[in-house]
Amino acid sequence: MKDAGLASLSINGRPVEVASDPGRRLSDVLREELGLRGTKVGCDAGDCGACTVLLDGAPVCACLTPLGRALGREIATVEGGVAEDLQASFLRHGAAQCGICTPGMLMAASALLTRNARPSRGEVEAALGGVLCRCTGYAKIVDAVMATATAAPALPKAGAAVGARVERLDGRPKVDGSESYGADHVPEGALLVRAVRSPHVAARFALGDIQSWAARHGVQVFTAADIPGENRFSAIPAFADQPALARDRVRMRGEAVAIVAGPPEVVEALDLATFPVDWSEDTGLRDPDSAESAGAPQLHEDRGGNILTRGLVRRGDARAALAGSAHLAEVEVRTSFVEHAYIEPEAGVAWMEGDVLVIRACTQAPVMDRDETAKILALPPERVRIIPAATGGGFGSKLDVSLQPLIGLVALRSGRPARMVYTRRESMASTTKRHPAHMQARAGADATGRITGMVFDGQFDTGAYASWGPTVAVRVPVHASGPYRVPAYDARSRAVHTNNPVAGAFRGFGVPQAAVAQETLFEDLALAAGIDRLAFRRINALKDGDRSVCGQELWGVGIDDCLAALEGPWAQALAEAEAANAQGGRIRRGVGVASCWYGCGNTGLPNPSTVRAGITREGRLRLHQGATDIGQGANTVIAQIFADALGVDLASVELIGPDTALTPDCGKTSASRQTFVTGKAALLAGQALRARLLALANMGDEASIAFENGAVVLREGARSRRIAPAELPLDVLGYALSVEETYDPPTSGLDADGQGVPYAVYGYGAQVAEVAVDLDLGTVKVLRITAAHDVGRAINPALAEGQIEGGIAQGLGMALMEEYIPGRTENLHDYLIPTTGDMPEVRSILVEKPDPEGPLGAKGLGEHVLIPTAPAILNAIRHASGARLTRLPALPHRVRAAIREAAP
Amino acid sequence: MGAYLQPRDLDEALRHLAQGPLTVAAGCTDLFPATERQRLAGDVLDISGLAGLRGVSRHADGWRIGAGTTWSEVIAADLPAGFDMLKAAAREVGSVQIQNAGTLGGNLCNASPAADGVPPLLALGASVELVSASGARVLPLEEFLIGPRRTARRAQELLSAVLVPEAAGASTFRKLGARRYLVISIAMVAARLVLREGRIERAWVAVGACSPVARRLGALEARLVGMGAAEVAGLEPGFLEGVLSPIADVRGSAEYRLGAAEELVRRSVGELMEGRA
């Protein structure tokens, strides 16, 4: 029985008529019937709070509210329901990174501020506890709610953008609800696409009478047989092995075997369990030990022993060095699958423009999406255009294509726009994860505490398909030494196929796991040597001119600067913990430290970025910025570098792109490379355009440049010269003046022993964690983390702090609560990520030791920030309780068991 | 598509129920997460508009809490210290958003072994009132909750109210989870005590998430009578063994759950004895 006729709602003070069924989710009515897509949907289960709206002033999840219940009541949404000063405060504090949680945060904060204008930090945390954020670590959000009255800083003057706390240039739409993510653009007449996915981890299958099923339901069905091109993809072309649609065999739960397309109301109502497919289930390989055992079935024909790839870095004779060491230590650690848990499930829409297939979806890698989709659909790359939607978090998983080939296929074959929005369960089941690692490591030190050698072996569960498994296998042995001098070294890794989810790229590419083994190992060594744990790390920290385990001579090495910056906080934390513990009781305080290093960009492989800038005939300055900004801030940072290199006011820079039709390739947003690689290309482009203008004006480098009333005005001393772009002929790119500059980091491939120059730039950091451990319950409260990170040059300190706070949140989650279990934790209430109430105070220390290669000395930061967090917390837990955790996450039951083991 | 019924009064709701089975929707905080669809499945009876099912009232023989009372309304209600544990549990239900929508009655009817509301209501000696077109009956909460996701509610009945007799003493609630907000319990304890000269005169203790249905611990309550703070702190390891039957799942091992429940009991009772609740 459908409700007859229209019903009335009041939204943001305006009466609105709706025709939907009263049993529909209010979130769906707001978004799909009323087009109010500022309200976001992250889980449809009340777990993430992104859809928070106010019902008569009280925050509720719109996804849990039937429309019928909202009738006759006042609904406030981000579109008009939020005070301007609160929005401005979010922008000013950098409280929105990707921005997908921002509407929910704003609504929850609005309700609080209405009844309590001056809330305490605790009150804000409690009020926002029901909205998950995966980017920020919450601190800047809480700051923004507590300090709505602070004034906006003045914009930096021309030439002074670098180093300034510039507000995110693309931030306004994130705080007013107008930002358009993958699910927010819906062309007229778009078909809805849903995937039929495997409920089994391994199975053969045969499709039944699809034609009849499709005809009966009035939909179109596409299968592997409809794919015109090469039905296999992978982030790394040489390993392409994953079908867009499986043909007759599935290797993991959630693998798509068919897609269904049709009118949205029809497709949404389909029960896909009735889709005609006969499964013949196999046992499958659930863990890498089984996969490596003799006689195990093989997932891929050409990968013997189910080994995808191996990695090796060897220098000197590590075993001999250990044999002669005064102190020895050994660890064995296991980590779990970790889910990226961005709040935006994969979503996008595809349509045809002439003979060009346009795909607008969330992504971290538009050019890779274009090339892979073109290959699968047998199109030349120039007939595929990727327009990245605003991306509601990525963290590595949105480097791989997901729905792009599927909606592309439907648009190509049907000629109609085709839209797909993953459910939370679908997103978690079918996309990549962080590799579970099983690591064993040994290291030795001499009597003075100098590390003599290290042996590392890591087995990484890479799941059903290759994805970024090879990258993890290569990166881990390069980084497993930590930022320390290790004269003799033997580190091996292998990525092993199983029928588990695909393990791919996740912030750090295996290095966070390796750091857990290495930093807990060095903890043991420091304790064995009887040396203060921070001092031990300083004794061994890499210095300028040292060689890494790859034999690379390093310059601009900032690890000791970071450790030195932590000396004061470390001493204070130890004293506080000691004083607290002297009081007795079953809650014990502890302090831990851990370091990180991380090479920026591809490992020993080219990864260029190209930046274009032009001046239009109307005298507008355009920067074609192709680095996708998934919340980390590339749109702002790249523009800051460019503006200063050109010597103009940041406000005169107009950003174009990313869009594969409009922006040259800036590569993928991955490997902490955008500030370094695209930043350097932007620096070169700014310098080149400046040189062109100076030459035209016949002025020296002291000249200032301004864009005024359609002209470019250069001034040097008393001289002034006006260049009128309208009078210049257009160049091939359609500009009066334009430049295009490419930068590719100078690296070299690694030899058979892993020796070479894998990266041109490294970033460094170290963190001190302070914890309280409940000895009886095994619960851990992280009280404070002091994080010193060497960024070379802080292009935008506010954004850098945001990366640190957000990375620490993910590191804390990995340490204490995050464990993805296929088929069991495919939602955000069984899979836990930190909430406002789980985050400690984070004190950021930005260390600036310039890198000789990086733009203005800058280094990458995005991944570095989470690497030290988990081992620092583990070392703090051990300091507090004696518990040596050998399995992550350190859930209460594991911590309590480890405490009992340490002190039976 | 099913019907979506929004009755204006209880009689109308009961008439609908008498005609055939309906999905009763209160806060919808459990119903919507159970589906990926954009509409609630089947024929739905939305009772959230029934004013008679909301609010807290005082009667000669105790307290009546309408089944449609939200957790936020419980938190805001003027109630004696015996209810502190219920208010504390209410603050731990999901998030503010969930507390603004979710109801006491819905929490009971959903019958999750980890329902936050159940241990405090058990420790309050609560009963539930069930009404149908043919009359009303009252059941002790223990008899209403018969298993995980199973209750004694008949298809034509509505849970209309939770009845609490005189709630003497002070009370407290502890929930253990792997994160601060929006978390499903590993274990939880609700405790209420009447003290006399530093010793326990009467005790009510219930544990959740450690058995198929949350349990009131009668034998422990009897044992606690007469104890002082030191004896409570000294409750021996394993004192709940055989009483509870926790499972191992993603949130914790069975052995851990049992030990944690025991420790939560020691702490909750101990805290009440020291007057720190």
- At residue A903, the pLDDT reads 84
**Do A9 and A68 reside in the same domain of the chain?**
yes
- At residue B172, the pLDDT reads 98
Any domain includes A2: yes
**Contact call for residues A733 and A612 (beta carbons, < 8 A):** yes
Any domain includes B161: no
Provide ipTM, 2 decimals. Answer: 0.97
Taking CB atoms and an 8 Å limit, are A835 and B100 in contact across chains? Answer: no
Q: What is the CA radius of gyration of chain B?
A: 19
Interchain contact B236–A (C-beta under 8 A):
no
Give the global pTM. Answer: 0.98
Q: How many domains does chain B have?
A: 1
Sign of CA dihedral A880, A884, A886, A891: negative
Of the three residues A123, A152, A181, the one that is the final residue of a domain is A152
- Give me the residue label for tokens 């950003």: A655
Between CA B40 and CA B43 the distance in angstroms is: 8
Residue in A18, A20, A21 to test binding to B, most B beta-carbons within 10 Å: A21
What count of other Cβ atoms lies within 10 Å of the Cβ of residue B178? 24
Q: How many domains does chain A have?
A: 4
Taking CB atoms and an 8 Å limit, are A838 and B179 in contact across chains? Answer: yes
- Give me the residue label for tokens 């601190």: A139
Any domain includes B217: yes
Any domain includes B130: no
**Do A732 and A757 reside in the same domain of the chain?**
no
**Do A408 and A458 reside in the same domain of the chain?**
no
**Do A623 and A577 reside in the same domain of the chain?**
no
Taking CB atoms and an 8 Å limit, are B72 and A58 in contact across chains? Answer: yes
Q: Using CA atoms of A545, A548, A550, A555 in order, give the dihedral in degrees to the nearest 10.
A: -40
Give the C-alpha distances (Å, rounded to integers) separating A501 from A255, A288, A446, A467, A887. Answer: 9, 12, 43, 11, 20
Taking CB atoms and an 8 Å limit, are A66 and B25 in contact across chains? Answer: yes
Band of pLDDT at residue A799, cut at 50, 70 and 90: very high
Per-residue pLDDT of chain B (277 residues; tens, 9 = 90+): 689 999 999 999 999 999 999 999 999 999 999 999 999 989 999 999 999 999 999 999 999 999 999 999 999 999 999 999 999 999 999 999 999 999 999 999 999 999 999 999 999 999 999 999 999 999 999 999 999 999 999 999 999 999 999 899 999 999 999 999 999 999 999 999 999 999 999 999 999 999 999 999 999 999 999 999 999 999 999 999 999 999 999 899 999 999 999 999 999 999 999 875 5
**DSSP per-residue string spanning A46-62:** SSS-TTEEEETTEEEEG
**Do A503 and A532 reside in the same domain of the chain?**
yes
Q: Residue A654 pairs with which residues in a beta bridge?
A: A622
Any domain includes A821: yes
- At residue A904, the pLDDT reads 62
Kindly state the percentage of chain A with pLDDT values over 90. Answer: 98
B174 min Cα distance to partner chain A (Å) = 12
Q: Residue B127 pairs with which residues in a beta bridge?
A: B140, B163
- Domain with residue B180: its CATH number is 3.30.390.50
Mean pLDDT (chain A, rounded) = 97
**DSSP per-residue string spanning chain B:** ---EE--SSHHHHHHHHHTS--EEESS-TTTGGG--SSB--S-EEE-TT-GGG--EEEETTEEEEETT-BHHHHHHS---GGGHHHHHHHHTSS-HHHHHH-BHHHHHHHT-TT-TTHHHHHHTT-EEEEEETTEEEEEEHHHHEEETTEES--TT-EEEEEEE----SEEEEEEE-SSSSS---SEEEEEEEEEETTEEEEEEEEEESSSSS-EE-HHHHHHHTT--HHHHHTPPTTTTBTTB-PPPBTTB-HHHHHHHHHHHHHHHHHHHHTT--
Any domain includes A164: no
pLDDT tens for each residue of A492-526: 999 999 999 999 999 999 999 999 999 999 999 99
Q: Which residues of chain B from 56 to 85 reach within 8 Å of chain A, CB to CB?
A: 72
pLDDT tens for each residue of A339-373: 999 999 999 999 999 999 999 999 999 999 999 99
- Give me the residue label for tokens 């109801």: B103
Interchain contact B51–A (C-beta under 8 A):
no
pLDDT tens for each residue of A815-836: 999 999 999 999 999 999 999 9
Question: Which residues from chain B sit within 8 angstroms of residue A268, using beta carbons?
Answer: 37-38
Any domain includes B220: yes
Which residues of A form the catalytic set? 863
Question: Residue A137: which domain range?
Answer: 1-152
- At residue A5, the pLDDT reads 63
- List own/partner pairs for B140-146 with CB under 8 A and 24 or more apart: B141/B108, B142/B216, B144/B108, B145/B108, B145/B111, B145/B118, B145/B213, B145/B214, B146/B213
Band of pLDDT at residue A154, cut at 50, 70 and 90: confident
Confidence check: pLDDT of A1 > 50? no
Of the three residues A698, A718, A743, the one that is the final residue of a domain is A743
Question: Residue B243: which domain range?
Answer: 171-273
Q: Which of A3, A423, A892 sits opposite B252 (nearest CB)?
A: A892
Any domain includes B62: no
Any domain includes B208: yes
**Do A456 and A579 reside in the same domain of the chain?**
yes
Any domain includes A28: yes
Q: Which of B46, B94, B253 sits opposite A69 (nearest CB)?
A: B46
**Do A352 and A465 reside in the same domain of the chain?**
no
Confidence check: pLDDT of A4 > 70? no
Any domain includes A261: yes
**Do A412 and A556 reside in the same domain of the chain?**
no
Taking CB atoms and an 8 Å limit, are A64 and B33 in contact across chains? Answer: yes
The residue length of chain B stands at 277
Any domain includes B207: yes
Interchain contact A740–B (C-beta under 8 A):
no
- At residue A355, the pLDDT reads 97
Give the DSSP H or E segment for A785. strand A780-790
Interchain contact B23–A (C-beta under 8 A):
no
Provide the token pair at B26: 């209160």
- Domain with residue A250: its CATH number is 3.30.365.10
**Do A683 and A812 reside in the same domain of the chain?**
no
Question: Which residues from chain B sit within 8 angstroms of residue A60, using beta carbons?
Answer: 97, 100-101
- At residue A2, the pLDDT reads 42
Any domain includes B96: no
Kindly state the percentage of chain A with pLDDT values over 70. Answer: 99
Between CA B240 and CA B219 the distance in angstroms is: 10
Any domain includes A721: yes
Peptide bond into B119 cis (omega under 30): no
Interchain contact B27–A (C-beta under 8 A):
yes
Taking CB atoms and an 8 Å limit, are A25 and B38 in contact across chains? Answer: yes
**Do A195 and A97 reside in the same domain of the chain?**
no
Average pLDDT of A234-242?
95
A173 min Cα distance to partner chain B (Å) = 25
Question: Which residues from chain B sit within 8 angstroms of residue A893, using beta carbons?
Answer: 186, 252-253, 255-257
Any domain includes A95: yes
Taking CB atoms and an 8 Å limit, are B182 and A817 in contact across chains? Answer: no
B50 min Cα distance to partner chain A (Å) = 12
Buried-exposed string A845-878: b where 16+ CB fall within 10 A, e elsewhere? bbbbbbbebbbbbbbbbbbbbbbbbbbbbbbbbb
- At residue B261, the pLDDT reads 97
pLDDT tens for each residue of A389-430: 999 999 999 999 999 999 999 999 999 999 999 999 999 999
Any domain includes A180: no
**DSSP per-residue string spanning A349-373:** EEEEETTEEEEEE--S-HHHHHHHH
* A–B interface: beta-carbon pairs under 8 A: 161
Q: Residue B145 pairs with which residues in a beta bridge?
A: B151
Question: Which residues from chain A sit within 8 angstroms of residue B2, using beta carbons?
Answer: 1, 23
**Contact call for residues A393 and A631 (beta carbons, < 8 A):** yes
**Do A382 and A268 reside in the same domain of the chain?**
yes
Going by the DSSP 8-state scheme, the letter that residue A542 receives in this structure is: -
- At residue A630, the pLDDT reads 96
Average pLDDT of A251-273?
97
Confidence check: pLDDT of A3 > 70? no
Interchain contact B252–A (C-beta under 8 A):
yes
Between CA A651 and CA A154 the distance in angstroms is: 12
**Do A20 and A92 reside in the same domain of the chain?**
yes
Interchain contact A815–B (C-beta under 8 A):
no
Residue A272 DSSP SS3: helix
Residue in A101, A131, A777, A831 to test binding to B, most B beta-carbons within 10 Å: A777
C-alpha closest to that of A228 among A357, A347, A353: A357
Residue A184 DSSP SS3: coil
Confidence check: pLDDT of A736 > 60? yes
Give the DSSP H or E segment for A69. helix A67-70
